[in-house]
Amino acid sequence: MRKTILAVAFMLAAMVSCQDKTKDKIEDAKEAVGAEVEQKVDTVTKKVETAIDSTQSKTGKILEKGAEKMDEAANKLKEAAKK
C-alpha cells in the first residue's frame, strides 16, 4: 500500500512539474511568434511605403510629360491659327 501511495505521489509530482515546463515552453513560443510577426509587419510596411513612393514619383513624371505634350500641342494650334 505504501508503495502504491508513493508511486501515485511521485506521478502527481512529475505531472505538475511537466505542466509547469510545458507552460513555460508555450509562453516562450508565443513570445517568439509575436516578435516574428512584428518583424514581418515592419518589413511589409516598409515595402508598401517604398512602392507607394515609387508610384507617386512615376505618376508625377508621367503627368509632367503629359503637360509638356499638351503645351506643345497648344503651341502648334496657336501657330496653325496664325497662318
Per-residue pLDDT of the chain (83 residues; tens, 9 = 90+): 777 887 777 777 777 666 667 777 888 888 888 889 899 999 999 999 999 988 988 898 899 989 999 988 888 888 888 76
Q: What letter would DSSP give residue 1?
A: -
Q: What is the pTM of this model?
A: 0.50
Q: Which residues of 41-51 are buried (b: 16+ CB within 10 A; e: fewer)?
A: eeeeeeeeeee
pLDDT attached to residue 29: 87
